[in-house]
Amino acid sequence: MTRTLRIAMNGITGRMGYRQHLVRSILPIRDQGGVTLEDGTLVQVEPVLVGRNEARLREIAGEHGIEHFSTDTDGCMTADDIDIYFDAQATSRRFTALSTAIGAGKHIFTEKPTAETLEQAIELARLAKQAGIIDGVVHDKLYLPGLVKLRRLIDEGFFGRILSMRGEFGYWVWEGTDVPAQRPSWNYRAEDGGGMTTDMYPHWNYVIEGLLGQVKTVYSQTVTHIPERIDENGAPYKATADDAAYGIFQVTSPEGDDVLVQINSSWDVRVHRGELVEFQIDGTLGSAVAGLRSCVTQARKDTPTPTWNPDLPDPNDYMSQWVDGTDTDMENGFKLQWEEFIRDVAAGRKHRYDLLSGARGVQLAELGLCSSKEGRRLAVPEIVL
């Protein structure tokens, strides 16, 4: 038995929407014949491309054998034959679009941040709950090999009592002077929704929640290291948004233990690590360092006993003392979450990463900016719908 879910995909002409969600997720799912449910039922997907650029939509549809596309966003979201609405637009347009789709009874899968403000993000979660639809927010990093391995190690008790996690994210984004910038200029203008904190703290919230537990307090220091950049037209502009954020988060684990998390995020750093983002978890019985794909471990029994002596060369080759536990056989993380969400929609069950989870990500970003402005640690209140 086979059924088909029609998915209105908005914002698919953007980099993330096109590459990760259409080309690497929905089209492979379509081409493999769909998603198989627990009872053997096959659920096929049919994308309907939605956006403002008709020429680009037509080009993408023709290239990938997609039959339907439209510039009538509201019409697609309210059409009876649309089952799921997906949003990868700019954040400034997301609240209105998601509200409309929820009001039309469509299931929701969306990129993050889910809204520009916490108030709007909470309202979306309330609307979804009242409508009884299945709502999901992209939490792609939790589906990637490195973080899947970390989660597995936690479940197996490898770390013992977890003490801390450190994260390093970022790379050098060119100013646009002698070398063209590799990120769009709006990323560095607060008035256009840009900023490192707004961009990355929603990610860090679900990573922390998915691995360790809920964030209870946040202390963050944000900064604009490079105050002026060059835009896509070669004109200089003032960078009004933070391009780096240094955060400390107090987390309570499901077992009731306090875990301290420190994450540095910067677009003004040169990479000296295996991947653009890495997380290190340290526990009483062992430690692990994971990127999005790699993961190495060091158990308590293999931990060296260094002696601090700055007057002599250190005889330890620390990097060689870790065991490679990388599993590279996993599929694309976006595709894996899409498949899980499709199964949840078909079964009529709650998706584990919903709009309430998305709201907590927006909340952490707002609190991070507020913490930096006020120069103090802030409690993270529980969101109750």
Structural contact between residues 350 and 136, judged by C-beta atoms closer than 8 angstroms: no
Range of the domain at 314: 141-326+363-374
Distance CA 264, CA 245 (A): 6
Domain identity same for 52 and 112:
yes
Determine if the peptide bond prior to 113 is cis (ω within 30°): yes
The tens digit of pLDDT for each residue in 76-93 reads 888 999 999 999 998 889
Structural contact between residues 2 and 42, judged by C-beta atoms closer than 8 angstroms: yes
Its pTM stands at 0.94
CATH number at residue 23: 3.40.50.720
Model pLDDT, residue 328: 67
36: phi then psi, degrees, rounded to nearest 5: -90, 125
Domain identity same for 132 and 228:
no
Q: Which position has the token pair 């970003």?
A: 365
Name the packing angle between helices 118-131 and 94-103 (round to 10°). 10
Domain identity same for 236 and 152:
yes
Give me the number of domains the chain comprises. 2
H-helix or E-strand spanning residue 130: helix 118-131
Domain identity same for 305 and 161:
yes
The tens digit of pLDDT for each residue in 24-51 reads 999 999 999 999 999 999 999 999 999 9
Model pLDDT, residue 3: 92
Beta sheet of 286-290, edge-to-edge order: 323-324, 295-299, 286-290, 277-283, 162-170, 258-266, 244-252, 214-223, 378-379
Domain identity same for 186 and 303:
yes
Domain identity same for 151 and 165:
yes
For residue 358, is it within any domain?
Answer: no
Domain identity same for 247 and 186:
yes
Domain identity same for 17 and 30:
yes
Beta bridge partners of 29: none
C-alpha 154: how far from chain center: 20
Note down pLDDT in tens along the chain; length 385 residues.
Answer: 789 999 999 999 988 999 999 999 999 999 999 999 999 999 999 999 999 999 999 999 999 999 999 999 888 888 999 999 999 998 889 999 999 999 999 999 999 999 999 999 999 999 999 999 999 999 999 999 999 999 999 999 999 999 999 999 999 999 999 999 999 999 999 998 899 999 999 999 999 999 999 999 999 999 999 999 999 999 999 999 999 999 999 999 988 999 999 999 999 999 999 999 999 999 999 999 999 999 999 999 999 999 899 999 999 999 999 999 877 677 899 999 999 999 999 999 999 999 999 999 999 999 999 999 999 999 999 999 8
Domain identity same for 165 and 234:
yes
Select from 195, 220, 242, 251 the least CA-distant residue to 370.
220
For residue 206, is it within any domain?
Answer: yes
- Contacts of 360 by beta carbon, 8 Å cutoff, 6+ apart: 205, 206, 209, 214, 215, 383
H-helix or E-strand spanning residue 356: helix 355-374
